[in-house]
């Protein structure tokens, strides 16, 4: 009798691809984006899901029905999967996937203690040194990646849970000091993802974070004739975050006063001044409801020169 496998994937595209090439096992799709909005460490609790729905409703206009049908029902399916011999996690290198992966491992640590857990992450590059998504690998390459999956030791599970706890804490300062000091970690792409996360706090130079500055820089340096083409360009520009159209559209709304037009894409005079650090936009974009993990986004400033965070005290 063969070993039974539960695959937890980073999205429907990966799940459908693995099924299409007749990968054996059961499948659960993790349908969340925990790299965006406030998170708490108690994954799966009633308060956790209530908090997540409030964020998704407010920021992305997600209906309660969609949240229940798309996310909660699949989570409940995960809760019912208890008989497999091994749990295999399929997650990419970017921040979007890495944070979801940490959350899933933290949940497994609590609710699937003693289970064998392994991780597949493509990490595969083409000749141009560009990352290839799991769903775009050839079937034989996918089999090889699966064969080379890394089985997590208890120390690895504890480490992933610890980083998740820090991500959900009300201060990123502790996370800043520990994420890069684990050379034996099997999570090869986590350090780069966490570094990118820390750069999402507003820069001390102009009040915008790395993503927002990239949006302005891309708009200024490349001439896009439409908003759709602009967003496609941004997706190609910042692979480390793993964002798609929905996330960039959301970011553009908060920067609308820095553009005179999005069809074609043109920065306003103020937008150019902010980009050149002549104007600090912090006071105009700041709010008390934006969170990165468990931390308030505008309670910390990123110092570009020394790559350190500075806490704002009132």
Q: What percent of the chain has pLDDT over 90?
A: 87
Residue 25 has pLDDT above 90, yes or no: yes
In a domain, residue 62? The reply is yes
- The answer on 299 and 219 residing in a single domain is yes
Residues of the chain above pLDDT 70, percent: 96
Do 24 and 129 fall into the same domain?
yes
Please compute the mean of the pLDDT values over residues 233-259 and round it to a whole number: 94
pLDDT score, position 159:
95
Whether 203 maps to a domain, the answer reads: no
Given a cut of 60, is residue 120 above it in pLDDT? yes
User: Is the domain of 181 the same as that of 214?
Assistant: no
b or e along 144-153 (b: 16 or more beta carbons within 10 Å of the residue's beta carbon)? ebbeebeebe
**164, 192, 220 - which closes a domain:** 192
Q: Which pLDDT band, with edges at 50, 70 and 90, does 177 fall under?
A: confident
Q: Is residue 174 part of a domain?
A: yes
185 is written with which tokens? 């970690």
d(C-alpha 152, C-alpha 143), whole Å: 19
For 98, phi then psi, to 5°, come to -65, -40
Out of 73-82, 181-190, 216-225, pick the least confident. 181-190
Taking the alpha carbons of 228, 234, 239, 243 in that order, is the dihedral positive or negative?
A: negative
Residue 134's pLDDT band, with cuts at 50, 70 and 90, is confident
Residues 143 and 230 reside in one and the same domain = no
Cut 0.85: pTM above it: yes
Q: Looking at residues 29-55, what average pLDDT do you find?
A: 97
CA 67 to chain centre: 18
State how far the Cα of 172 lies from the Cα of 309, in Å rounded to an integer: 8
Task: Specify if 233 maps to a domain.
Answer: yes
| CATH at residue 293 | 1.10.10
Q: Is pLDDT of 278 > 60?
A: yes
The domain containing residue 295 runs over which residues? 210-311
Q: Tell me the C-alpha to C-alpha distance, in Å, between residue 266 and each of 3, 10, 215, 282.
A: 57, 35, 11, 21
Q: Where are the beta strands (DSSP E) in 123-193?
A: 150-151
Longest dimension (CA), the chain: 69
**What is residue 127's predicted lDDT score, i.e. its pLDDT?**
44
Report if residue 170 sits inside a domain: yes
Same domain, 269 and 235: yes
CB atoms within 10 A of CB 278: 10
Taking residues 240-262, report their average pLDDT.
96
Confidence of residue 314 (pLDDT cuts 50, 70, 90): low
Structure confidence at residue 154 (pLDDT): 96
Q: Is residue 295 part of a domain?
A: yes
For 217-254, the DSSP string reads: HHHHHS--SSHHHHHHHHHHH-GGG---HHHHHHHHHH
Q: Cα(244)–Cα(71) distance, rounded to whole angstroms?
A: 18
Residue 289 to residues 57, 146, 224, 286: CA-CA distances in angstroms?
Answer: 13, 41, 32, 9
Per-residue confidence (pLDDT) for residue 130, from 0 to 100:
60
Task: Tell me, yes or no, whether 176 and 302 share the same domain.
Answer: no
Measured CA angle at 195 (ends 29, 55), to 5 deg? 50
At 180, is the pLDDT very low, low, confident or very high (cuts 50, 70, 90)?
A: confident
Question: In terms of domains, do 52 and 176 share one?
Answer: yes
Same domain, 180 and 252: no
In this prediction, residues 103-109 reach a mean pLDDT of 98
Which tokens sit at 272? 């150019």
Cα 38 to Cα 43: distance, rounded to the nearest angstrom: 12
Domain boundary residue, one of 137, 158, 192: 192
Mean pLDDT of 253-271: 97
Q: Which residues contact 304 (CB under 8 A, 6 or more apart)?
A: 203, 204, 205
- Separation of alpha carbons 201 and 57, rounded Å: 23
Give the span between the Cα atoms of 59 and 70, in whole angstroms. Answer: 17
Mean pLDDT computed over every residue of the chain: 93
What is the CATH classification number for the domain harbouring 10?
A: 3.40.1360.10
Q: Are residues 26 and 68 in the same domain?
A: yes
Instruction: Confirm whether 197 is domain-assigned.
Output: no
Q: Is residue 184 domain-shared with residue 241, that is, in the same domain? A: no
Quick one: 165 and 290 in the same domain?
no
User: Do the beta carbons of residue 88 and residue 149 sit within 8 Å?
Assistant: yes
Asked whether residue 109 carries a pLDDT value surpassing 60, the answer given is yes
The structural domain count of the chain equals 2
279 exposed, middle or buried (CB, 10 Å; 0-12, 13-18, 19+)? middle
Residues 168, 262, single domain; the answer is: no
């Amino acid at each position: 009798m063969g070993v039974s496998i539960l695959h937890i994937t980073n999205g429907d595209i990966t799940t459908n691809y693995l099924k299409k090439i007749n990968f054996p096992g059961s499948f659960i799709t993790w349908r969340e984006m925990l790299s965006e909005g406030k998170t708490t460490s108690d994954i799966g609790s009633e308060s956790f899901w209530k908090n997540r729905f409030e964020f998704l409703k407010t920021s992305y206009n997600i209906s309660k029905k969609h949240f229940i049908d798309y996310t909660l029902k699949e989570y409940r399916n995960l809760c019912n999967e208890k008989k497999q011999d091994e749990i295999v996690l399929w997650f990419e290198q970017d921040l979007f996937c890495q944070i979801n992966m940490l959350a899933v491992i933290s949940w497994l640590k609590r609710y699937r203690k003693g289970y064998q857990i392994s991780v597949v992450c493509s990490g595969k590059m083409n000749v141009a040194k560009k990352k290839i998504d799991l769903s775009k690998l050839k079937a034989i390459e996918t089999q090889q990646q699966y064969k080379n999956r890394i089985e997590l030791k208890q120390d690895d599970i504890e480490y992933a849970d610890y980083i998740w706890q820090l991500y959900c804490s009300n201060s990123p300062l502790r996370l800043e000091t520990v994420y890069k000091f684990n050379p034996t970690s099997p999570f090869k792409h986590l350090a780069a993802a966490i570094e990118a996360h820390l750069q999402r706090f507003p820069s001390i130079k102009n009040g915008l974070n790395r993503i927002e500055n990239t949006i302005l820089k891309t708009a200024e340096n490349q001439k896009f004739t439409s908003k759709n083409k602009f967003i496609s360009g941004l997706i190609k520009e910042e692979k480390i975050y793993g964002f798609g159209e929905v996330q960039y559209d959301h970011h553009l709304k908060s920067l609308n006063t820095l553009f005179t037009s999005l069809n074609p894409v043109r920065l306003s005079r103020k937008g150019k001044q902010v980009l050149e650090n002549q104007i600090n936009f912090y006071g105009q974009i700041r709010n008390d409801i934006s969170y990165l993990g468990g931390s308030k986004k505008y309670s910390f400033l990123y110092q570009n020169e020394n790559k350190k965070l500075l806490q704002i005290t009132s």
